[in-house]
Structure formats: structure tokens, C-alpha cells
Chain A
């Protein structure tokens, strides 16, 4: 029962990431691990900057 519950939660997390959630958390982790001295961008600036990068390349198709 508990195992099934965990499996459902795992796939929900995957689905959430597919939709594009959690990018900022990932970025924070990366900054914490790899660049401990640097102050990371705040969530709003990060979100807007990411969108600009993403939508300047083909990323949707027919």
C-alpha cells in the first residue's frame, strides 16, 4: 500500500517536471552545490530570463 502510494507520488513528481515545474529549485541546488559563494537570481528574474532563452530556439514542432 505504502509502496504504491510512493510510486504514485514519484510519477506525479515526474509529471510536474514535464510540465515545467521545479526549474528554479534545480537551479538553486546547482548554485548551492557548484557555486556556493555566488548569490543566485531571485525566482522572478530567473523565470523571465529562462523563458527568454527557451523561446528563442525551436522547441515546438508540427
Chain B
């Protein structure tokens, strides 16, 4: 009411005052977390800093991109309007599209990455999450979404082929499949490590399979398409499974049925992935996806409430001693490894596939690409900040005891705790025993992969809001279920999509292989994809250094390389739109990502430290063999380790090479256009005026 009475001039002054105070508050909070070192700080400093930066970034930077760089035009009809078919292309309410898009981009990445990067202290990761999102990740998602809207919702690969050339297009497709395989392997490894020796967790996750199938039958036969009802039913059942898991864990007979080592779990997950990717989607994949979306959105909301209610203090220092590159979780210095360990949450190339997938076909107005593309990524970045907070509320000693592989700290409790305490992060076997009893597990040592320590952090926050220590075990297993649920969903969906991509490529060589309903081809290509990620998963399980140390950086490099490719495509489009003077908007994050990933790839290949360099590790092991220091029984497994390290090196080199190819192809094109040698030919769909009523 007051607003409508005040004059426009005063309103303007008021707005300026509000935005000035948001900027000052954000800068103040950022400065405080960066400089304040004397005692632990409250998590709210991180929240305030992040939210203020997001608000300023959204209000000013995304507006600048929308208006000056992309010239979003609401009078231009979007594909949803022009090509409306009631199925894929449907003009949709912008908040529905926002929800869809956010649910699609937010997966385990922004939860696991920050948890692993917490070994460096909260500062490097948090700064990268916030700044990387505002200047990089959000920009990528936004510009690619815009590009796809202007091209009838075409995919990143198609856009790359049309705007850069066939070489770039084919390379991008190849890069996507490789990244998919590594991504699926590493997240499967995270689940394996979270469920290893945990009957409660394994039972709960196993129960999601029959629950999802029940939902599938419900949605297929009883109440077709009533997703809301079925999801509610599923959530109730899954909560019952979390509670019931406690009784399974306490019963000696049942507990034995659900207790497996990492190797057995990995094989089961591989078998499951294959089954889920060839079964009809309505039976398992789709209902599981609905369930995981429901649980994911709910849990993220509850975690935010919990953090605001508890306002926990961060026990982790701003910078840990491991910024020197000797960390137990992953080896390598802050630069470049912090920037590839946290991919999702800051910049994630995978988002470009979503931004050029379903979302552009639903957008009603071009201007909505701003809130959907830029805005959703800000929210994902916020999820990553919350994950960082959840990891840093743990005592550092406890965090390191959970996340350090036995290859580094040993496996005897007394030895592990004394090694970690000697790093300056005190922890005792009694602390660990108390934690283990509280969360209802058999052991919490060496639970690498990030999921268990994140679950402990979340349980810590939740139980301080509701239930106290009594409910800690329940909250812990709820958090494990939450992470495992959507990781498994991603495994199903990813294996299936990977199979389609592979069929698409192989169909060029022999047509029947491309037929997605021809069973021999479905089985062969499905098995190929699952075998590919399954191999890397198995390798990770057998790795004495825990697997995460080698696979997570590989995934980070792959994902950031895809982001570099997406930003490269975006830059080509800006230059062709005669917006070369604003091309720095995408060139800046692209150059940063190319530098980060090429440095990281180079170090993973050639670094003399065997924990960082794949070739150095292969060489060290080969040296042991030739010096006769390996017992005859273990010679086969050492030979396999040598082979795996060399394989990882080849994959890393291959990915780095792909990006150089795309970059070189693009730069050649850009120079041609900028020098006037080449006529820029933008492949946008023709302009059609919108006939939808203006809002």
C-alpha cells in the first residue's frame, strides 16, 4: 500500500537503497569469511554471502545478458508456441518449467563434490561455488537454453554441428558418451561405498525397487498418469522402509541377508543397471524417477529449513593444511583440483544437455529463459553451499576418519585416529565408536565417496531440529536413502540414454543397430554401456587408494570439459549474432575452464607424485614388480592396477584432446568471421510473431 502512494522518484531511490544494502551485505559477508581466522564462524555467514551474491548476480548480470547480449524478444514466438503438439512442445507456466529444469539439473553432483572439497577447508570450495555459478555455470545454462529455444529445441550436439561444423558436432557427441560412462561409474562407486557393510542402508535401497515397481503398476493400470498420488504412496512406503531398516539391522538373520562387501555390491549394482536399462520404462525407471524427484525436492527444502533453524557453527577451518596438495580424500593442490572436484554447483557441462533438451520446448516467452536457465543454476549452487556446510559442521578429525581410504591412514582404529590426530585434527577411537553407535552402522572408518560424511552432517543438522540424538540413526539412514535413491535413478536413466546415443552412432555403420525397439541391438548396446561404466566401477572398488581419488577427478575433468565445449558453442553463436563485443561473457568462463581442465589433465597424466599422476603410479607399481617386491599371489592384481592406471591416463588424454579439437575448430571459425573472410550464417529458426496474449 505504501508503495502505490509514494512517487516514482522515491520508489527509485528505495530500490537503489535496497540493492546497495544487498551488495554491501554480500561484500561484507564474503570479506568476513575470507579474512576472519581466529575462531570458528557460523554457517550463516556463508548463507548470507551466497544469497547476496546470487541476488546481485541475478538482478544485474543476468539482466545485462538478457537485454544487451542476447536481446531476448517476447514478441518472438517460442518453439512451445510454434510447434505445439500437446506432448513435447507445450507452452508451460514458467514456475513449472523452473521446477522441471531444477529437478533435472540437481543430482548427486552438488552434494558430493563440495563434501569432498571440504578437505581443503570451507573457503576455496565456497568461493568457487558462488563465483563460479554467477559468472560461469548460470551463464552457460542460460545461453545454451536461449540458443536451443531459437533453434526449435535442438540438442547441444546438433547446435555444435550446425554452428561450428561436423568435426565439432561429432566430437561433442563422443565427449558426451565418454563423460556419461565416467559419471555413472563414479556415482555408482559413491553408492557402493555408502552401502558397504550396512544392512540398514542396503535394505532400504533394495526396498526402493519393489516400491518403484508397485508405483509403476499403479500408474500404468490403476490410475494412469496420476503421478502425484503414486509419488505420495511411494514416499510413505519408503519412509516405512527407512524405519524398518532398523529392525533388519538389529536382527542377526535378516542383517546377514543385507550385509555385503564393496565387490558384491558393485556387481549387484551393475546387474541392476543393466536390467533397469532394458526393462520397459514404465515398470521401474519412470516411477523411480518420480519418487526420487519428490524426495529430492522435499529433502533440499527441509535441509534449508534445518540450516536456518540450527544456524550451526563450522568446525572445519577456512583453509586446511591440505591446500598443499597432500589431502587424503583426493590428492592435488587447490589449483586446479578444487575447481574440478566441485563441478556441479559451480559449472556443470552436463546441464547444457538439459538446457538443450526438454526445457526449451516448454518455455512460453524468451524472457523466461532468464529465470529458468540462470535462476535454476543459482538454486543448485545454493544446494552445493548447503552441502559444504553439512560437511563442515563435522569435527575435522571425524570428517577425515570417515573420508580417508585405508591405503593412506591404515585400517586399525587406533592407527587411523593417531594418524589423523597427528595432522592436527584430533579424533579418538571413542569419538568414532560413539558416532558409529549413534548412526546405527557397523563402522564409519574409510567410508569414502562423500555420501556417508554428508549424511552424518545432514543427520547432525536434522536431529538438532527434530528428535535429538535419539533420532540420529533414522536421519542418517534417511539421508543415505535420499542420496542413493537418486544416484540409482541416474544410473538407470543414464544407462538408457547412453544406450540410445550408442545406437544412434552405431546405426550409421549398420542400420539395424540403430533400431531402438530391436531386442538384439537393445541388449548388445545396453550391455556395452553398462560394461563400460561397470569396468570403471569395479576398478574403483578394487583400488587400494579408494577409487574416488582417481575416478572423481576424471569425472570432474570430463564434466568441466563438456562445459568448455558448451561455452565454446555459446561463444560461436554470440560472434555470429554480431555480439563479438560481448563475447567475453562466455569466453571468460570458457578460458578459465580450459586452463583448469588442461592443467588438471596434464597433472593427472604427468605429475611425479604417484597419488596424482596416473603414469607415475603405473611406473611405481611396475618398479615394484621388476624389483621383485611383489608376492607371487598379488602379482596379478598389481598388474591389473598398472593397466588401470594406464587406461585412466589414456582416457584423460583423450578427453583433453577432444576439447582441443573443438576449440581449434571454433577459433578457426571465429577468426574467419571476425576478419570478414567468412559470412556468419546463424542457423536460427525464422522469426514468427507470437500470437499468445502478453502477460
Contact = CB atoms under 8 A, between A and B. Distances in A.
B478 interface: no
A14 B92 CA distance: 10
Contact of B87 (A14, A34, A44, A53): A53
User: Interface SS of chain B: helix, strand, loop or mixed?
Assistant: helix
Interface in B634-692: none
Contact of B225 (A15, A46, A57): A46
A55 B220 contact: no
A17 B93 contact: yes
B93 A14 contact: yes
A34 B100 CA distance: 25
B496 interface: yes
Contact of A56 (B92, B96, B297, B497): B497
A53 to B, nearest CB: 7
Residues of A in contact with B, size category: 20 to 34
B61 interface: no
Given A17-B96, A23-B225, A57-B497, A62 B187 contact: yes
Interface string A18-56: 111101101101110010000000011011101111111
A60 B96 CA distance: 16
A27 B348 CA distance: 33
Contacts of A50: 87
A50 B290 CA distance: 14
A27 B224 CA distance: 14
Interface stretch (B12-20, B249-257, B278-286, B322-330): B278-286
Contacts of B226: 21
B372 to A, nearest CB: 12
Given A17-B96, A21-B226, A60-B494, A47 B86 contact: no
Given A17-B93, A61-B348, A62-B109, A56 B496 contact: yes
Given A19-B231, A56-B500, A62 B493 contact: no
Contacts of B559: 62
A51 B100 CA distance: 15
A19 B85 contact: no
Contacts of B56: none
A15 B87 contact: no
A7 interface: no
A4 interface: no
A60 B224 contact: no
B224 A43 contact: yes
Contact of A55 (B93, B100, B227, B285): B285
Nearest to B277: A55
Contacts of A24: 224-225
Interface string B75-109: 00000000011111010110110011001111111
Interface residues of B, number: 59
Contacts of A15: 99
B522 to A, nearest CB: 12
Contacts of B95: 14, 18
Contact of B357 (A27, A31, A59): A59
Contact of A58 (B85, B96, B187, B357): B357
B88 A60 contact: no
A41 B194 CA distance: 44
B87 A16 contact: no
Nearest to B286: A51
A59 B104 contact: yes
Given A30-B86, A34-B84, A62-B107, A47 B490 contact: no
Contacts of B367: none
Most buried by A among B228, B280, B358: B228
Contact of B86 (A27, A44, A62): A27
Contacts of A16: 228
A27 B281 contact: no
B252 to A, nearest CB: 38
B358 A26 contact: no
Interface string B398-427: 000000000000000000000000000000
Given A51-B281, A56-B516, A44 B88 contact: no
Interface string B190-228: 000000000000000000000000000001110011111
A53 B516 CA distance: 11
Contacts of B105: 61
Contacts of B358: 54, 57, 59
Query: Most chain-B Cβ atoms within 10 A of its Cβ — which of A20, A51, A59, A60?
Result: A60
5 pairs of A and B residues whose beta carbons are closest in the complex: A30-B86, A18-B99, A62-B109, A43-B224, A20-B227
Interface of B: 84-88, 90, 92-93, 95-96, 99-100, 103-109, 155, 183, 187, 219-221, 224-228, 231, 280-282, 285-286, 289-290, 293-294, 297, 343-344, 348, 350-351, 353-354, 357-358, 489-490, 493-494, 496-497, 500, 516, 559
10 contacts: A15-B99, A17-B92, A20-B227, A43-B224, A47-B224, A55-B289, A58-B494, A60-B104, A60-B289, A62-B183
Given A19-B294, A58-B357, A59-B493, 17 more contacts: A16-B228, A18-B103, A19-B293, A21-B225, A26-B86, A27-B86, A47-B220, A56-B500, A58-B353, A58-B493, A58-B494, A61-B106, A61-B344, A61-B353, A62-B109, A62-B350, A62-B490
